[in-house]
A = this chain, B = another copy of it.
């Protein structure tokens, strides 16, 4: 029997959209909830909804100068203003002042960030850290709701100082990543799923704050092992595309010998590893410039201890 882990009640909760200004589920919902907050009110807390990258959202682009969601490492947040004059880095520092500072007890209790992807990722939950039992219990709670089944967990598990995404500014943090949805487009069913997931996460927080005990659980996740780039020519241009047999197969097993790329000359390139992997973020538009065709992941199971709110 595991010892119950306790956390203070989550009173200061923030929800971000538009960290990438062309990921429209978060943009549209954040704007709506900023004007119509009633839907997200709960007995024990009132969430704070905001647009994290207003200029990129205004222009419907991912970012203006630099990817905002790569700006939140401790090193970047601690650069002097003159070292990097990019809009996004200065905005990251501003957000860190409001919702952080990252890693300090002054930070917001929870920060949720809404993203979407062109990959066929379905419902995906990206916890800040598997060692954050509260976030992992929330993940388990969401996964148990049949409405969102399956809701997979994408696990990067970086040390806090290296964690680069907005959500890691909170004491607890996570991103919802939904797909497939083109950049600049809002699809009704993606909007409805994102809306349901945020409400479900808020319900969990409310139950937690009210004293509900969450039992020990086993949570399945997909842990990043390796980055795979497209085959490229000397000019850096892609020479092959994701093979149609791999396209849209996020989170499904890829076996040695399975097709992964199709060259423009018509040649199939197969996966030459020696064990099964689970590709994720296959053919995400924003990752071409990051030299990333997909992530290889392995399936893991995380045992999460029981949690309960700290008594006053």
CA distance A242 to B182 in the complex (A): 14
Residues of B within 8 A of A289 (CB): 60
Option from B31, B187, B241 in Cβ contact (under 8 Å) with A237? B31
- Taken together as a complex, chains A and B put the C-alpha atoms of A284 and B285 apart, in Å, by 16
Is A217's CB within 8 Å of the partner chain B? Answer: no
Contact check: which of B31, B60, B185, B244 meets A118 at CB < 8 Å?
Answer: B185
A283 to B183, CA, bound (A): 11
Q: Are B187 and A242 in contact (CB under 8 A)?
A: yes
Q: Closest B-chain residue to A183, C-beta based? A: B183
Closest CB of chain B to A214's CB: distance in Å? 30
A54 at the B interface (CB under 8 A): no
Q: Which residue of B lies closest to A248 (CB)?
A: B187
In chain B, what residue has the closest Cβ to A185?
A: B285
Which residue of chain B lies nearest to A192 when distances are taken between CB atoms in the complex? B244
Across the interface, A241 reaches (CB within 8 A) one of B36, B184, B188, namely: B188
For residue A187, which residues in chain B have a CB less than 8 angstroms away from its CB?
241-242, 244, 247, 283
Task: Determine whether A7 belongs to the interface, using a CB cutoff of 8 Å to chain B.
Answer: no
CB atoms of A247 and B28 under 8 A apart: no
In the assembled complex, A64 has its CB within 8 A of some CB on chain B: no
Smallest Cβ distance from A63 to chain B, in angstroms?
Answer: 13
Q: Does A32 contact B (CB under 8 A)?
A: yes
Report chain B residues within 8 Å CB of A180.
Answer: 182
A160 smallest CB distance to B (angstroms): 32
Tell me the complex Cα distance, A243–B182, Å.
16
Given A183-B285, A262-B188, verify A28-B118 contact (CB < 8 Å): no
The listed residue (B28, B183, B184, B262) touching A264 by CB distance below 8 A is: B28
Is A186 at the interface (CB under 8 A from chain B)?
yes
Give complex CA distance A28, B283 in Å.
Answer: 15
A-B contact pairs, 15 of them (CB 8 A): A28-B238, A28-B241, A32-B264, A118-B185, A181-B182, A182-B183, A182-B285, A184-B286, A184-B288, A185-B284, A186-B283, A187-B242, A188-B241, A189-B244, A192-B244
